[in-house]
Structure 1
Amino acid sequence: MKNLFILFFFSLVTFAQTTNQCVLDQKSGKPMLVGICSREAIQDSSFAWWFNPEYENYELDKGTLSHVKMDNEFHSITIVMGTWCSDSRREVPRFYKILDSLNFPSAKVKLIMVDRKKEAAEVNIASLNIELVPTMIIYNDGLEIGRIIETPKETLEKDLAAILTKK
């Protein structure tokens, strides 16, 4: 029984993914996050200098958002970004502010950080076909229904509304 417990424990440790992994960006010499991360990793840390002002200063398009309906049961979102990327540092805090205004549950948002090669440490993101960051992928019942890639076509609110209402 003891051996079974030890085997189970080491299996969990082996397959567990490290979250909020910080590495040194060889190009800039600054810290960069890679892999699965929490929102707090960019909001309450050494990355807060860009996250918090962008979040606080962004003015929501409340007119568009009043028509946006997200189903908290069936919708989920994957955000792929790089802490080294200026587009990510601008768009992701804004996108989080939109999600917060919609009361979208944080548990339904998966945040994946990539390095400059668009690799995410222990996370294999090849199946996501990421070419540019940030990429926000919106799912309905596990199926991708749309993406916002790098910068919105119109605004984040209008692009999200278009994704959620297309048939």
Structure 2
Amino acid sequence: MKKILLGVILVTSIGCLAQKKETSVTKDEEGNLIGNVNKANFLQEPYTDWFSPNYNNYKTNKETINKLKPLLKGISIKAFMGTWCSDSQEQTPAFYKILDEVGFNYKNLELVAVNRDRETPNNLQKGYDVERVPTLIFYKDGKEIGRFVEFPRETVESDILKIVSGKPYKHSYED
């Protein structure tokens, strides 16, 4: 009986720790989100003031969305944005709309909100070479296959399609 009780306590503790890491979001002195975030964070004031209109007003290309659907299976994404950044305020809602329309598995997305220095207190940005936000890094089989940086060359969904389909793609700051 003691072993069963100990097992239940251990599993519960591990679950709580994992959940705590997932929701490790704080605010800086200006009220900007810092840490791991998700769409629910942006549906609260004051972030919904920019998130909801930009999400609702972004019109995706349905043909591109249909091409993306099968290609995003098996893809994981590590993304960085700043709630203080106008490009992030524009591109993050568009990014979420695209992921919603393709039925993306959000377990394969980690979105990190950074401060104006592109950092978090837990150094979640370390090793990812984030110079501008938003930065969306796409992985297949654990290897980076490309990244979207700050704004699209064409449209967000067409840029993502090029990345995940293996076509030549250079983000906005590559020569």
TM-score relative to the length of structure 1: 0.82
Q: Is 1:24–1:32's contact at 8 Å kept on the other side of the alignment?
A: yes
Alpha-carbon offset, residue 68 of structure 1: 1.8
Q: Which residue of 2 is the match for residue 64 of structure 1?
A: 64
Residue in 2 aligned with 1:43?
A: 43
Partner of 1:103: 103
Q: CA deviation at 1:43?
A: 2.1
Q: CA deviation at 1:91?
A: 0.2
Structure 1 contact 20–38 (Cα < 8 Å) conserved: no
Identical-pair percentage: 35
Q: Kindly state the Cα deviation for residue 45 of structure 1 after the two structures are TM-superposed.
A: 3.9
Partner residue in 2 for 1:53: 53
Counterpart for residue 23 of structure 1: 27
Amino acid paired to 2:76: S
Gaps of at least 5 residues in structure 2 are 168-175
Q: What's the CA shift for 1:109?
A: 1.1
SS in 1 for 2:26: strand
Residue 55 of structure 1: CA displacement?
0.3
What does residue 91 of structure 2 align with? 91
Instruction: Assess if the C-alpha contact under 8 Å between 1:118 and 1:130 holds in 2.
Output: yes
Alpha-carbon distance, 1:70 to partner: 4.0
Question: Which ranges of 4 or more aligned residues in structure 1 deviate by more than 3 Å?
Answer: 69-73
**Alignment of structure 1 residues 119-134 onto 2, 5 Å:** 119-134=119-134
The letter of the residue matching 2:26 is: C
Whether contact under 8 Å (1:21, 1:34) holds in the other structure is yes
Letter in 1 for 2:126: A
Aligned pair count? 160
In structure 2, relative to structure 1, the CA distance for the partners of 1:104 and 1:18 (3 Å cut) is closer
Aligned position for 1:80: 80
Gap change, CA 1:49 and 1:119, over 3 Å in 2: same
The more displaced of 47-56 and 116-125 is 116-125
Equivalent-residue separation in structure 2 for 1:147 and 1:42 (angstroms): 23
Partner of 1:147: 147
Question: Which ranges in structure 1 are unaligned for 5 or more consecutive residues?
Answer: none
Per-residue deviation, residues 65-109 of structure 1 (Å, max 9, x unmatched): 222244565211111000000000000000100011100012211
Alpha-carbon separation, structure 2, partners of 1:162 and 1:73: 15
- 1:153 and 1:73, CA in 2 relative to 1: closer, same or farther beyond 3 A? closer
Report the Cα distance in structure 2 between the residues aligned to 1:128 and 1:138, rounded to whole angstroms: 12
1:18 Cα shift?
7.1
**1:52 corresponds to which letter in structure 2?**
S
Q: CA RMSD in A?
A: 2.7
Question: 2 CA distance for matches of 1:140 and 1:166?
Answer: 11
